[in-house]
Every structure is written in C-alpha cells, then in structure tokens.
Structure 1
Amino acid sequence: MHLNLFIAFVVLLILIFEILKFDRMPSSLFKILSCFIICLFVSPSSISQAQKKPKNIILLIGDGMGLSEISSSLYFNEKPSNFLRFNTVGLSMTSSSKELITDSAAGATAFASGIKTYNGAVGVDENMQAVETIVEYISKKGIATGLVATSSIVHATPAAFYAHQESRRMYEEIAAELVTSDIDFFAGGGLQFFTHREDGQNLLPQLEKNNFVVHTDVLPKKISEKKQAILLAPDGMPKMSENRGNFLTNATMLAIGQLSKNKEGFFLMVEGSQIDWGGHANDADYLINELIDFDKTIGAVLDFAERNGETLVIVTADHETGGFSLSAEEGNYNKILGSFSTNGHTATMVPVFAQGPSEELFGGIYQNTNIFTLLKQLSEKK
C-alpha cells in the first residue's frame, strides 16, 4: 500500500472511532469527514493522472544559454523578463556520451532522439546508426512540425530534428535530408546549401515539388496552406546588431499560425542560435542582444499559449557557452559587467522552464535525454 493511502486509512479509522462515541455525528465531525473524503478522491496523484495532455508543444532552445545568460535579461532588458512568467523550473545535465562537455549536435540529438551520442553527431548513435527523431515519430500521428532558427537551418540544433549524419559539418547532405523530411514549416538561413552546392544541384525546385512554397527574399506576412520553406540568408541570419529586427519573433508566430491549422496539433522547435555565438566570441553585448531577442520571442509564445489553453511551452538550452558571469564592474556592486572564463562550452547544468498542460513533469534534475522522453510521452494522445 502506498504511504499516502496508508495515512488516509489510519486517519479514517480515527474519525470512525470518534464518531462511535456519539449517538449522532456532530456537525463538526461531519464537516471534517466530508472534507477528508473529497481530498482523498481528489489527491495530487489523481489530479496528475487526470491532467490533460497538451495538443501543441513549443520547444524553445537558447543555444549556449546558461543561468547567467538568462539572468542578464533581468538587468539589461528594458522590459520585464519573460522568464519570470514561468512557475515550473528544472535543471538539465548536458554531457554527451563520450565527453563531459557536449556540443550542440550531441545536445540537440539528446532532445530530438533521446540518446547520448558523441560530439558532432546529428541524429545518429555512437555507432553512426540513424535514430528516430521526435519529428519522425509524431509525424506518423498526423502532428504538424516546424523549425525556426537564427542560424542556418542546416546547423547542428535544427538539423538534429530531421537529419541523420555522422558529422554536423555535412551541411549539403543535411540540406538534402530536409527536402524530403517530415517538416512542414522551416525558417532561418542556409540558402547556399540548397542553391550553391558542390554537387551543382539546386534543391529549391525539389522543395517545390514536395509541396513547399519557397521564400528567399523576405519573411512573408501571409502564407498559403502549403508547406513553407523560408531561407533568408546564405548561412546564418544577421546579428541583432546588424538589423535582423523581429525575424525570430515574427517567424515563430508565422509558424504557429500555420501549424495551428492542423487538427491533430503541432510541435515547433525555435532556436535562439546566436546566444551561443556571442559566448564563443566572448562578446557580452552580442550575447545579451541575442538573449533579449530570444526573451521577446518567449513572451510572444507564452501570450499565444495563454490564449490557446492547449499548448505546452518549454524553454531550455543545449549547453552553456563562454563560462559567462555577471560580476561587479571595478568593484562597484551597482554596476554589472558580463565576463567570460572560456571561448568554448562548459559542463554546467542548464535550466528548463515549462508552462502549460503537464508542465509539472519538467521540474527536478535530470539528463537532457529526459526532454525527449517527455515529448514522446506527451505526444501519445489519450
């Protein structure tokens, strides 16, 4: 017998003995017993079992985003940080299969396929064998899927959700896989890997043949019912400091508008890719500008989720980059200076934020592969 049921049984016996002392049940005891019975049948475990699963899941990944990066949204953002809107927070352990410190490819493969693999691997295990991605799994169930990134769309993190390559650097092979993948909407950079390839192929006509509408100049304001391929830069998108504008937020909301039309629900992965690049460059301004842009996108997604009522929002990182810290500037405790300890990745755990149906599952401390396990579990409709 579970401990909580045992305790409930003992309490119930005590109440019965107390009742037997009287010819008729006192009103006070009647109220206590009534409340007890209600609480017994509406216990936390019962509520958890009856919890409605989300129809839609939006996973936002701040590449290279550790706790100090997140904290910078409190100190350098003109508006209140959207991270403050979350009630459920967990911690993810990020090591890859062979290294204590992961890279983005192995980190994203853990999210997308639920396995630990070697650094540089995209959608393959340690033996370089393809593993099923969450996109491939849920597409069989009729769930729509999308990807948005400020990097190239064939970069490590987005690639791990649809491709299977032994090296993250195999950009042209990854692009070819995207053309025939189950993805319904994608937006980011990486046009050169579709049009200026070493094999001389132009993959844009193949995208159109596979029912994609291709956009290569500007982010459209309205889109058709067809699949959408949006490639707006040769490689990565411009930095925020280079006038990228509201691409990340607008592309994300465009994706949500398109994918929401699917009656079976949708899964959308959104990456704030260049937070990581600011960390690698040890450029605090670059990092903070990208983080605030990511924070703004989180706010727009949370607003949608609150209106929708059927959407789970998860925000996390694949790893931390730069050993970023927020320290006092020249000993002045009223001035904060962003500083770094490395130009590479670190082994620190990263936060996981969740809001929406079944958010409580994301509290605690766990391996990054647990994200996939929960995504798969929640995609199983009742």
Structure 2
Amino acid sequence: MTYKNVIYLVLLVAFFSCKSQMIKEETPIKAKNVILLIGDGTGLSQVSSAFYFKKTSPNYARFKYIGLINTSSSREDITDSSAGGTAFASGVKTYNGAVGVADDSTEVKNIVEIASLQHIKTGLVSTSSIQHATPASFYAHVTNRGLYEDIAADMVGSDIDFFAGGGTKFFNKRKDGKNLLEALKMKGFGIDTMALGDFAEIKQQSKMAYLLAEEHMDPMAKGRGDFLPKATELGIQFLTKDVANSDFFIMIEGSQVDWGGHDNNADYLISELIDFDDAIGKALDFAEKDGNTLVIVTADHETGGFTLSSTVKKTEDGESYSDYNEITGTFSTNGHSATLIPVFAYGPGAEAFSGVYENTEIFHKILEATNWDKRN
C-alpha cells in the first residue's frame, strides 16, 4: 500500500468516525414523562389576562417553544370539547359530541391505552366532573358526551392509576342501581370523597381516586381553593412513587375557564385562568428538576370570543372615550370560536411543538417525543 493510500484510508476512517459521533450526539433524548395541561376554552386573550391580572409572574412566560393549532372538528369549523379532547387523546378528527370514537363512531385507541401497554402510569385531574368531555376523552369510548354513566363505567374498565375531580354521582347514584365506587375498590383504588390528602397518606395505595363533588367542582370564586395546583403536584408524586416504574402521563384540565367564557363573566374566567397558571407552575417546577419530562400546555378551543379591551369611560360632558390605561374583558359570543389556539412546550421534544398545525398533531408529537407506541 502506497503512502498516499495510507493517508487516504486514515482520513476516510476519521471522517466516518466523526460522522458517526455527530449522528450519535444529534439523536434527540426521548421524554420519559408527559404532563399535558388543557385550559378548556383558553385562547390567546385568556392567556394574556394572566400577564395583566396575576399578581405574580405568569408561568406561561417560562416557555421557550410556542406553536398554534387549528381546532376544527371533522364536520364543523368550530369544535366542542369532546371532539377537541379526542383529537389530543387519539390523534383523529371526529364530530362534535363524540368521545373516543372516530367520525364513523368506531372506537379509537387513546394515549392512556397506548402508554399503559408499556407499563406507564397514568392520571387525570379536572375541575369538572371526571366524566366531562375533556377528561373522558382519555379513557372512554361513547358516541355522545352526555352518556355520563357509560363514561363512568369506562373509567372502571380503564388503566388509569390516579384521578381527581368531581362526578361522584355518576358512580354511586346511577339509574342502573350499581355502585361503581365498589368496583373501583375491587380494582385496587383508594377512594377519598372528602378532600385531597397528603402524599404520605396515600403512598401505600396502588391506585387513587379523589371524587370531591357530586358533579362539578366549585368555581374559584366559591371556595375551591388550591385544588388544581395541589392535585397536579399530588398526582405527579403518586405516579412517580415507585422508583422502578416511575414513568408517567398525566392530563390536567382547567375546566372552568371555558365556563367563564360561556357566561361572559370576565372575573370568573380570569380567576380560573390564574388558578390554571398556578397548576402550570407545579408541572414546570417538577419538569425542571426532573429533566426527563415534557410539559405541554394548550386548549381544546377558545370560548366567548374574549378580548382585553380598553375601558370605555365618559367625560364630564358625557362623551365616551377609551381609557388605554385600564383593561376590561369583553366578549363577542356565548359559545366557542374558531380562533387558532396557542401551544406551549417545555422539555425533551418541546421544539417539535413550534409551528402551525392541526390539533391531532399533539397526539402524534407526544408519541414521537416518547416512543411509547414503538417500545417492545
């Protein structure tokens, strides 16, 4: 072998060695855990209200990667929560009113079912009943979101490990006379219908359910307190308590931002949005310490056509003018709107949530970030 050939061979080996090292270094880290926070009815103006009305810095400001989603359902330009929730949970567009089924009413597998096959722990938290459209989309399969007793039965058959919210009556005051709370106990659930406990009180349980209202939780203005951020923190603690099996998925819903929008009640909406932002803070605090957790914050749709307007006032002469130093929340509808919805992401795979895309991509991007659908 000539001297030139030796030099060529050495350079060739070095090149492919460097290229192999570069490829290895550029392989993205997969997330072990996912926290999906859904502020029901929360559009950009709702998010913006935290920057004007929250007394502390909003947790929304802690995100680097931000995108936008189109929320239209399979048959309507404007979605409802069940079609929106199903898009997130299963990655398919469906009709308004559908929970966990496709447009042709066939069942579609949700992310909880996919993750559970990989022994990933799963949880749900909501300020509505746990059978309401958004949380139901992550464990139930019904053709109409109003079938609350059927949805409750699907919870018993699901692999959920932790849940907190309202909806006791759909388990124990049913038309069929069944007491599904007993069925939950048979599946290993500890059940508390009084208040959120401390982690030390529940860490020996294999599964845990908090059902703290007959139907929906009270609004913040009527004394709900710190349920949502506390349940977020407690759910994470519970799902990560087994060191050998601590990977998890949890969905946390701030349900009543939506209801403030439907009521065209700015005070109601803003108080719920600030509470939701506090829950975001708990999720981010954990993710920053953990390093393996993907946090996604978004909404199923916007409600109320909410706008942060200048306050209209009158001069001494009775003429109207806009005071640009004072903000008033105003509305254009009592229903949902078709506006694009922001997506905020933090952690491994967060960069993929930038851009503009369909709401169904949230599901696919989560699976890409975790490989939960491709593990052996």
TM-score of the superposition, structure 1-length normalised?
A: 0.87
Give the SS at the match of 1:270.
strand
Amino acid across the alignment from 1:61: I
Q: 1:41 to 1:325 in 2, by over 3 A?
A: farther
Could you tell me which residue of structure 1 aligns to residue 101 of structure 2? 124
Could you tell me which residue of structure 2 aligns to residue 375 of structure 1? 366
Q: 1:259-283: per-residue Cα shift (whole Å, max 9, x none)?
A: 1135251000000000000000000
Q: 1:187-219: per-residue Cα shift (whole Å, max 9, x none)?
A: 000001011111111111100001101111111
Q: How many angstroms apart in 1 are the aligned matches of 2:38 and 2:21?
A: 35
1:39 offset after TM fit, Å? 11
Question: 1:312 touches 1:355 (CA, 8 Å); kept in 2?
Answer: yes
1:311 offset after TM fit, Å? 0.6
* 2:216 matches 1:239: no
1:229 offset after TM fit, Å? 1.1
Unaligned runs of 5+ in 1: 1-36
Which 4+ stretches in 1 moved above 6 angstroms? 37-43
Structure 1 range deviating more: 256-265 or 176-185: 256-265
Determine which of 104, 117, 126 is the counterpart of 2:81.
104
Could you tell me which residue of structure 2 aligns to residue 333 of structure 1? 324
Q: 1:205 to 1:348 in 2, by over 3 A?
A: same
Question: 1:274 touches 1:290 (CA, 8 Å); kept in 2?
Answer: yes
* 2:120 matches 1:143: yes
Amino acid across the alignment from 1:152: S
- What is the root-mean-square deviation in Å for CA atoms of aligned residues? 1.8
Within 5 A, what are the aligned runs for 1:349-360? 349-360=340-351
Determine which of 281, 301, 310 is the counterpart of 2:283.
301
Q: How many angstroms apart in 1 are the aligned matches of 2:269 and 2:59?
A: 17
Question: 2:87 touches 2:360 (CA, 8 Å); kept in 1?
Answer: yes
* 2:72 matches 1:92: no
1:378 offset after TM fit, Å? 2.5
Question: 2:93 touches 2:102 (CA, 8 Å); kept in 1?
Answer: yes
Could you tell me which residue of structure 1 aligns to residue 177 of structure 2? 200
Question: 2:120 touches 2:249 (CA, 8 Å); kept in 1?
Answer: yes
Aligned-residue identity in percent: 56
Amino acid across the alignment from 1:255: G
Q: 1:339 to 1:238 in 2, by over 3 A?
A: same
Question: 2:66 touches 2:353 (CA, 8 Å); kept in 1?
Answer: yes
Within 5 A, what are the aligned runs for 1:1-382? 49-221=26-198, 222-223=201-202, 224-262=204-242, 263=245, 265-330=247-312, 331-380=322-371
Q: 1:224-266: per-residue Cα shift (whole Å, max 9, x none)?
A: 2310111000111000001100000111111000111352510
1:379 offset after TM fit, Å? 2.8
Give the SS at the match of 1:79.
coil
Question: 1:142 touches 1:264 (CA, 8 Å); kept in 2?
Answer: no
Q: 1:46 to 1:98 in 2, by over 3 A?
A: farther
Question: 2:142 touches 2:151 (CA, 8 Å); kept in 1?
Answer: yes
TM-score of the superposition, structure 2-length normalised?
A: 0.89
1:220 offset after TM fit, Å? 1.2
Question: 1:328 touches 1:336 (CA, 8 Å); kept in 2?
Answer: yes
Say how many residue pairs are matched. 345
Could you tell me which residue of structure 2 aligns to residue 27 of structure 1? none
